[in-house]
């Protein structure tokens, strides 16, 4: 049941449109949707593509099952349809520096990484440690090679990346009114005081974001709430405190923002957009795209991060170790963007990484992943990583075994070894219906040893 204070508020704000709004929240149907990962070579195999989400590419209505080959291979991402639009409106270009400041569980980050096409860098941050782990797993499944996942407060990041990012997406924590239909538990913690608490938090986060925005950079601000206090009024605050200009968002499926819901009545607030549940696209969403029109006085011309003492070191890998890794990698078709400069590789307790940012640039931050983890060095052998398997799914591969049926696929996800017919030997990629999702190792006996991580097994 909707809170009385909520109903009174939106009856006043919406007037004659209020009954349709309340009906959609209480009796309307929740819509599930997914995006297809254009980075992956295979394309979706288990899902119908006959109901596209209007206004988006590669997005469709339908439900994804977490034990399907589409999901475990990172070929699709399940996401609330209205929530797909902020990343789409970011219009990220390959080579840009991009920050997703409140990134978990990863829906928007995966979309931003896809737009980068392996060029530039995406820093995906999540302050909650448990949710940051989920964010990492989802980006790993997506096959991104140029992503840094961190678990820090926004102000901690700002100290490392002053005026550094070309594009920053802030999908701010909010009162969650747009999720009332999808998640009725959100109703339980709603109150007028909570709305004000969220607004204060949003302004604090945005202040840190502005400290990281490069001259003439783009800021995308979004919430999943209807609250004017957290939507138009926050954007109005940004316009009053920073040299920002609202950009027009051409979305026929959305409604314009409401200048009359902000104290200033700034007519430019019509350039913000709202998704209402009664419109039939998805749940509630607010979106604004802003551009910095004047470089802040604190920004230097190069927009470089804080200078730190750099220690130039040779790779900690010796030549035999390098040879072990390269012997494995040369079996596979490697995608563009994967850092294969041996001098840049990092060896952390046997875990070999190909970083996208210099590690000293991230000193003092809680870094979950920097670029790609290639695998693990063990005595006289190199074991490729699960992340590398997902990255290699971007390309067609010959060193791969495609499982013959659903039963074999299910057994492999469970962690079992399989008897297969193949002339291949050694490490192989494992796929089902052509969708690569793991590594395995084939011996002369035709037994496929299972390398699907224990933490992912079903």
d(CA 447, CA 458): 21
d(CA 255, CA 166): 27
Question: Around Cβ 341, how many Cβ atoms within 10 Å?
Answer: 8
- Burial profile 403-434: b = 16 or more Cβ within 10 angstroms, e = fewer: beeeebbeebbeeeebebeeebeebbbbbbbb
Looking at residue 302, its pLDDT comes to 44
- Among candidates 118, 141, 131, 140, which has minimal Cα distance to 171? 131
Contacts 24+ apart (CB under 8 A), 374-378: 374/325, 374/329, 374/345, 375/325, 375/328, 375/351, 376/350, 376/351, 376/352, 377/317, 377/321, 377/324, 377/325, 377/347, 377/350, 377/351, 377/352, 378/350
Sequence-distant (6+) residues with CB within 8 A of 380 are 324
CATH number listed for the domain at residues 398-458: 3.10.450.720
Contact 72, 48 (CB under 8 A): no
Q: Is 224 a catalytic residue?
A: yes
Contact 278, 181 (CB under 8 A): no
Looking at residue 341, its pLDDT comes to 85
Question: Around Cβ 66, how many Cβ atoms within 10 Å?
Answer: 9
* pTM of the full structure: 0.94
10-residue stretch averages of pLDDT, the chain, 458 residues long: 96 98 93 95 87 96 93 96 98 98 98 97 98 97 96 97 97 97 91 98 98 97 98 98 96 96 98 97 97 77 48 67 92 91 87 93 96 93 96 96 97 97 96 96 96 94
Looking at residue 304, its pLDDT comes to 53
Looking at residue 34, its pLDDT comes to 97
174-197: per-residue pLDDT in tens?
999 999 999 988 999 999 999 999
- Burial profile 171-191: b = 16 or more Cβ within 10 angstroms, e = fewer: bbbbbbbbbbbbeeebbeebe
Looking at residue 300, its pLDDT comes to 54
Spot the catalytic one: 167, 174, 198, 224: 224
Looking at residue 315, its pLDDT comes to 61
The domain limits of the chain are 4-30+79-292, 314-397, 398-458
CATH 3.40.50.150, domain 4-30+79-292, yes or no: yes
- Asked if omega into 105 is within 30° of 0 (cis), the reply is yes
Supply angle C-alpha 369, 371, 372, rounded to 5: 90
- Among candidates 396, 406, 400, which has minimal Cα distance to 422? 400
Looking at residue 313, its pLDDT comes to 47
Q: Which CATH class is domain 314-397?
A: alpha beta
Q: Which residues pair with 218 in a beta bridge?
A: 167, 291
Q: Is 398-458 in the same CATH topology as 314-397?
A: yes
Supply angle C-alpha 225, 136, 284, rounded to 5: 15
Q: Which residues pair with 150 in a beta bridge?
A: 125, 367
Supply angle C-alpha 62, 225, 251, rounded to 5: 60
Q: What are phi and psi of 395, to 5 degrees?
A: -125, 155
Burial class of 194 by CB neighbour count within 10 A (0 to 12, 13 to 18, 19+): middle
């Amino acid at each position: 049941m909707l809170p009385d204070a909520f109903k009174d508020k939106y009856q006043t704000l919406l007037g004659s449109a209020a009954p349709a709004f309340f009906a959609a929240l209480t009796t309307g149907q929740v819509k599930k949707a997914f995006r297809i990962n254009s980075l992956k070579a295979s394309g979706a195999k288990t899902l119908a593509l006959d109901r596209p989400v209007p206004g988006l590419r590669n997005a469709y209505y339908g439900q994804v099952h977490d034990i399907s080959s589409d999901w475990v291979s990172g070929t699709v991402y399940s996401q609330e349809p209205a929530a797909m639009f902020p990343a789409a409106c970011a219009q990220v270009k390959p080579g840009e520096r991009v920050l997703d400041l409140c990134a978990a569980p990863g829906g928007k980050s995966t979309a931003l990484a896809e737009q980068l096409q392996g060029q530039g860098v995406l820093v995906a941050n999540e302050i909650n440690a448990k949710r940051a782990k989920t964010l990492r797993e989802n980006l790993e499944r997506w096959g991104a090679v140029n992503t840094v996942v961190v678990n820090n407060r926004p102000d901690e990041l700002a100290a490392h990346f002053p005026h550094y990012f070309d594009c920053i997406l802030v999908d701010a924590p909010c009162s969650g009114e747009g999720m009332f239909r999808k998640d009725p538990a959100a109703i339980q913690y709603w109150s007028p005081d909570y709305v004000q608490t969220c607004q204060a938090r949003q302004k604090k986060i945005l202040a840190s974001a502005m400290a990281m925005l490069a001259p003439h950079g783009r800021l995308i601000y979004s919430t999943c709430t209807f609250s004017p206090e957290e939507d138009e009024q926050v954007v109005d605050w940004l316009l009053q405190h920073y040299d920002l200009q609202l950009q027009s968002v051409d979305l026929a499926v959305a409604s314009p923002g409401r200048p009359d819901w902000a104290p200033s009545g700034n007519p430019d607030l019509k350039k913000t957009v709202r998704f209402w549940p009664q419109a039939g696209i998805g749940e509630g969403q607010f979106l604004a795209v802003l551009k910095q029109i004047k470089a802040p006085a604190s920004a230097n011309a190069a927009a470089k991060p804080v200078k730190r003492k750099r220690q130039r070191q040779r790779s900690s890998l010796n030549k035999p170790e390098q040879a072990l890794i390269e012997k494995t990698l040369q079996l596979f078709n490697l995608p563009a963007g994967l850092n294969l400069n041996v001098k840049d590789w990092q060896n952390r307790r046997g875990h070999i990484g190909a970083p996208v940012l210099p590690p000293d640039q991230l000193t003092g931050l809680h870094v979950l992943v920097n670029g790609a983890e290639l695998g693990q060095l063990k005595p006289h052998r190199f074991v490729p990583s699960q992340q590398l398997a997902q990255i290699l799914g971007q390309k067609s591969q010959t060193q791969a075994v495609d499982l013959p049926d659903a039963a074999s696929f299910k057994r492999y996800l469970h962690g079992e070894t399989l008897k297969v017919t193949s002339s291949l030997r050694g490490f192989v990629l494992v796929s089902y219906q052509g969708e690569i999702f793991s590594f395995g190792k084939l011996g002369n006996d035709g037994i496929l040893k299972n390398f699907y991580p224990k933490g992912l097994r079903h």
